[in-house]
Amino acid sequence: MMGLFDMLAGMLKVRKEQINILVIGLNNSGKSTIVNHFKDPEERSQVTLPTVGFNVEKFQNQGIAFTAFDMSGAGRYRNLWEHHFKSCQGIIFVIDSSDRMRLVVVKDELDILIKHPDIQNRRIPILFFANKIDCPDSLSSVKIAAALGLEKLKDKPWHISSSNALSGEGLQDGIQWLVQQIREMIASSTKK
């Protein structure tokens, strides 16, 4: 079974394209576990440790170089996210759907992201993973979307996908949406 990034590359069918995806979210939301799922099975980590600063995961397939920036979600590292805003073609924002107490912090971080000068005027696709749906007290993706005010995100394509990073549930649906958005973005930029 090929990794999700290889599948992403295969679906895009673009030659010599550099695709940068920023993977962000609060600490302990499941970012590294999701990125681990994207890797080829033989490259996957058996143990996932909290990310300090950020990890860069690179993959190549069919002439496409993918770079995933898995950013630490710990408060003191969140200012590092913005250093990668300019170069990214897509954002995966991972939310712990069972952590109701920190949903306000997630909303604050999302608002900061949306208003950032390197993001504000771009139609960059944002994929939200409402992760940890296997937890008994997890909120539905509809409730998370409402709590974050995603309906107000008019100038950016966005999608929320319920996921379980441990089993892989919901990851494929989200990635397929992101592939389509990036494909459309590349197509429209080559027409200009």
Between helix 103-115 and helix 141-148 the angle, nearest 10°, is 60
Domain boundaries, the chain: 4-191
- Specify which residues 129 forms β-bridges with: 94, 161
Phi then psi for residue 65, to 5 deg, are -100, 120
pLDDT digits (tens, 9 = 90+) for 63-112: 445 566 655 555 565 566 666 678 788 889 999 999 999 999 999 989 98
Q: Is 90 helix (H, G, I), strand (E, B) or coil?
A: strand
Q: Does domain 4-191 have CATH number 3.40.50.300?
A: yes
Rounded to whole angstroms, the Cα distance separating 126 from 7 reads: 19
pLDDT given at position 64: 43
Rounded to whole angstroms, the Cα distance separating 35 from 57 reads: 8
Residue written as tokens 């993706």?
141
Which two three-digit tokens encode residue 62?
Answer: 């069919």
Phi then psi for residue 132, to 5 deg, are 65, 40
pLDDT given at position 75: 58
pLDDT digits (tens, 9 = 90+) for 124-175: 999 999 999 999 999 999 999 999 999 999 889 999 999 999 999 998 888 8
pLDDT given at position 61: 34
